[in-house]
Amino acid sequence: MAKICFLLADGYEDSEMKNPYEAMKEAGHEADVVGLEKGAELKGKKGTVSYTSDYFISEVKADDYDAVIIPGGSAPEALRVHEEVVQFVKQANDQGKVIAGICHGPQVMISADILEGVNATSYMGIRDDLKNAGSNYFDQEVVVDGNIITSRTPKDEPAFIKEILNKL
Q: Is 104 considered catalytic here?
A: yes
Handedness of CA 145, 147, 71, 154 (dihedral sign): positive
Mean pLDDT computed over 147-156: 98
Helices (H) and strands (E) in the chain, counts: 6, 11
Please report the pLDDT score of residue 79 as a whole number. 98
CA atoms of 117 and 89, how far apart (whole Å): 17
Average pLDDT for the chain: 98
**Which of the four pLDDT bands, split at 50, 70 and 90, describes residue 161?**
very high
pLDDT tens string 53-100:
999 999 999 999 999 999 999 999 999 999 999 999 999 999 999 999
Instruction: Identify the CATH number of the domain in which residue 17 sits.
Output: 3.40.50.880
CA 131 to centroid of chain Cα atoms:
18
Q: What is the mean pLDDT of residues 125-136?
A: 97
For 101-123, how does the pLDDT look when each residue is reduced to its tens digit (9 = 90+)? Answer: 999 999 999 999 999 999 999 99
Residue of 5, 29, 82, 104 marked catalytic = 104
Number of domain units in the chain: 1
Element (H, E) at 85: helix 83-94
Predicted pLDDT of residue 21 = 98
Per-residue pLDDT averaged across 40-48, rounded? 97
pLDDT at 112: 98
- Report residue 110: phi and psi, to 5°: -60, -50
Range of the domain at 7: 3-167
3-class secondary-structure state, position 124: helix
The residue type found at 21 is: Y
Element (H, E) at 34: strand 30-35
For residue 146, name the pLDDT band (cuts at 50, 70, 90).
Answer: very high
Check: pTM over 0.95? Answer yes or no. yes
pLDDT reported for residue 116? 98
